[in-house]
Each structure stands twice: as structure tokens, then as C-alpha cells.
Amino acid sequence: MTGSTYGDLRLWDLNMNQLHAEKNAHDLGVSCCTFAPSILSAYKMQLLHTLTDQSAPVLSCAYSSDGLLLVSGSVDKTVTIYDAINAVLLYTLNKHERYVTACAFSPTSPLIATGSMDKAVCIWRLEDGCSGHEEPALTSKEGRTSAGRSKLLVSDWSEKDVSEWLAEEGLRTLVDKFRANNIDGTELLSLTKETLASELHIESVGLRSKLLRKVEELKSDSVCSGIPDEFLCPITRELMKDPVIAADGYSYEREAIESWINTKNRSSPMTNLPLLTTLLTPNHTLKMAIGRWKTSQ
């Protein structure tokens, strides 16, 4: 089974013969496909259930080995677990700090692994009888540390947090130097090439550049966490840089809605109704609000 950004599903045999095509199965494209373990011999596409418990695009899904459970991960940072037969939500897990991009069941034990852009993999244990109690059975030490720090603004990091971050980013050689100079989160964000050379005496040009690049990534990650939903493009679920208002009254990132209009026959991404016009109006008020929010971060 294959899916595409056009929203189509296609079923193929191993000789690459197309057995079935389902046009526009999903409005905003297909990001993942998975088969239940028991496959019927007749290939007729029929919609059985629509599960809508996640508030943003679904990036991954997987069936348990017996086909009784279904797990999915989303841009809204949640993991949902369903009774796959009856389409009933069993659990919503909120451990991850960023997009959940991968989900998998263990084939031999009651465990689920979920991977995220927060750089952590969480392993969850399903309790006997689906009692409703769930918790991460195993996480790496690095994963727990990162998750704890990510709840803070970088400017609120302690000297210890900075040292741990350096070690995780492959800059362990700088830990002692940063500790000796009492570098906390606020000072980390204010570092420049000049201060690294003259005050911290980091002689390697490459090391200085690598550190500053990591700091810039850190600033970008900080801006992208906890974003108000109205600042996210409904199509890409990313922070908007050039928001525009479409004919349906919703605001989108200009590039995303222009691409949508060019490929989706002028239907609204939010309502599925035809757009009366393709005219896009810059949303200056929203753009200024996003700018103020980024500054406050």
C-alpha cells in the first residue's frame, strides 16, 4: 500500500501491478500506511472507521500483531491507542515534547515504542486487561534529561542544564570551560564568535562555529515549542511566516495554500467546499501577533 501528498491510496501486488486506487482518501495527504496482520484475499476498498481523536496531522500508525490494537502518533505530540475492531479510543499518551513520527508494537511482548522529534524513544507497557493504567516502562537517561529541560525556556537553564546539553550535542570538551565560567542558559544564548575567542579562549574556529550553529538550532527549537494553535498553518502545522487569508476565511502559510490551490481543484482545506476565488489577502494582524510572540520567547 502506498500513499501520497495528493491524498491517494494505491494497492499493489509484488509484481508492481496496481490492484486498486482510492482517489482523495485524505484531504491533506497520506503520511503513513499499515496493514492489519490478517489480509483478506478480496481487494475492495471500504471505509470502516474514521478516528479523529488527534488534533493535528497523523504521522505514523501501526497494528498490534494480533490486529486488536492500533497505535498512532501525531504532530500534536500525542500517541493514541485504539481498540482496532470497535474503533474505540483506549489511551492518549502525552509524554513526548515534539512531533511523534514513529510507532511500533513489539511482536512478542505487550510493549509499544514511540519515536519523536524530541530525540526520545518512549517504550510503553500495556497492562494486563487494559486496566487503563499506562506509563513509560523504559526511557533512556538522555531522553529523560532532554524532556525535563525542554519544559523550560533555554534562558531559564541552570549551569548544569547547559553542561548536560553540551555533552548530548557532542561538545563534551567544552563542559569544564563552561562550568569554570558559570555559563547558564541566558549567557549561552548571548554567546558570539568574539566572546568565545576572547573570553572563553576557544581557539578552534571549527569548534566555535559548531557551537554557535547548535545554539541557533536551540533558539529555533525554543521558538517552535508551545506555539499557539492559531499561529500554525492548518496545512503544514508549522509556524506561519507569511500568513494569508483565503476565500474560506481561514489563514494559511502563503506557499502552502498556493500549492494546495494548484493541486486540489480550489477546494478549501478546512471545509472541503469550493473556494469562490483564489485571491489571497495578507493577514498583517496575525503576522504582527506571531512576531510579538516570537520576541517574547
- Domain residue extents for the chain: 53-140, 152-224, 229-296
What pLDDT does residue 265 have? Answer: 65
Fold category of 229-296 in CATH: Herpes Virus-1 (3.30.40)
Task: Please list the ranges in the chain whose pLDDT falls under 50.
Answer: 130-145, 147-148, 151
> Are the C-beta atoms of residues 7 and 29 closer than 8 Å to each other?
yes
Q: Do 152-224 and 229-296 have matching folds?
A: no
What pLDDT does residue 135 have? Answer: 42
What is the spatial distance between Cα 297 and Cα 295, in angstroms, rounded to a whole number?
5
Taking only the tens place, the pLDDT of each residue in 242-280 is 999 999 899 999 998 998 888 756 788 887 788 888 999
What pLDDT does residue 18 have? Answer: 86
Taking only the tens place, the pLDDT of each residue in 19-41 is 888 887 887 778 888 888 776 55
Fold category of 152-224 in CATH: DNA polymerase; domain 1 (1.10.150)
pTM (predicted TM-score): 0.46
> Are the C-beta atoms of residues 157 and 149 closer than 8 Å to each other?
yes
> Are the C-beta atoms of residues 71 and 90 closer than 8 Å to each other?
no
Q: Considering Cα of 155, then 157, then 161, then 163, what sign does the dihedral take?
A: positive
> CB atoms < 10 A from the CB of 216, how many?
11
What pLDDT does residue 252 have? Answer: 93
In Å, what is the CA distance from 265 to each residue of 181, 258, 276? 59, 11, 11
Q: Considering Cα of 156, then 160, then 163, then 164, what sign does the dihedral take?
A: negative
Indicate left, alpha or beta for 194 from its phi (over 0: left) and psi (-120 to 50: alpha): alpha
What pLDDT does residue 114 have? Answer: 94
User: Which one of 2.40.50, 1.20.1330, 2.40.10, 1.10.3470 gives the CATH number of domain 53-140?
Assistant: 2.40.10
